[in-house]
């Protein structure tokens, strides 16, 4: 008997077999797990993005110091950004600080997590920004509120735009 004939026989036996219903508890457990995987919670996605941002944001400090915080004590992109004026410089620094994090998050998270992130993108990016401002307030120099607003504005718009660019790249991959 050839392998194909044996497979065909096994398949026909499978089709003819009596249907067995799994216990209701098992079905509900599996469906609950699948539902949770397909619809990740805001907090779960937020913590993943926050971890990604901790790494990507730290790397961005090598190129663009934020509020006096730079691991290499260099000016990096500040020389270029200062040509934009005080508020333009801060907006560009905020944009630089979040862009890599948002792009990386949209490229490495699971598709379901990216969709969940996009549903709450404004709140997620704003939350990451406020967490970052808190860290800078603790470890950096004192900064006027108007300067923080300029920095946050650059961060917010760049974060949302970077997230969308990453989503578009991923959506081509998912097709």
Residues 6+ apart with CB under 8 A from 136: 66, 67, 69, 143
pLDDT in tens, the chain (175 residues): 555 678 888 888 888 888 888 888 988 898 888 888 889 999 999 999 999 999 998 888 887 777 666 655 666 777 788 888 989 988 998 999 899 999 999 999 999 999 999 999 999 999 999 998 888 888 766 667 778 899 899 999 999 999 999 999 988 876 6
Q: How many angstroms separate the CA atoms of 98 and 74, rounded?
A: 19
Q: What backbone torsions phi and psi does residue 18 show, to the nearest 5 degrees?
A: -70, 140
Widest CA span in the chain: 83
pTM: 0.74
pLDDT at residue number 119:
92
Report the alpha-carbon distance of residue 152 to residue 143 in Å, rounded. 13
Our CA angle for 25, 33, 39, nearest 5°, is: 140
């Amino acid at each position: 008997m050839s392998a194909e004939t044996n497979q065909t026989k096994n398949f026909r036996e499978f089709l003819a077999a009596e249907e067995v219903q799994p216990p209701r508890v098992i079905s509900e457990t599996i469906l609950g797990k699948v539902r949770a995987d397909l619809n990740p919670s805001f907090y779960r996605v937020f913590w993943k993005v926050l971890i990604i941002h901790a790494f990507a944001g730290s790397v961005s400090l090598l190129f663009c110091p934020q509020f006096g915080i730079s691991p290499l004590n260099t000016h990096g992109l500040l020389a270029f950004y200062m040509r934009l004026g005080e508020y333009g410089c801060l907006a560009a620094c905020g944009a630089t600080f979040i862009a890599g994090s948002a792009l990386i998050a949209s490229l490495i998270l699971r598709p379901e997590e990216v969709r969940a992130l996009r549903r709450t993108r404004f709140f997620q990016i704003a939350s990451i920004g406020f967490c970052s401002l808190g860290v800078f307030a603790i470890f950096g120099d004192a900064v006027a509120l108007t300067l923080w607003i300029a920095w946050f504005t650059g961060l917010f718009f760049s974060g949302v735009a970077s997230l969308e660019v990453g989503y578009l790249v991923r959506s081509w991959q998912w097709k």
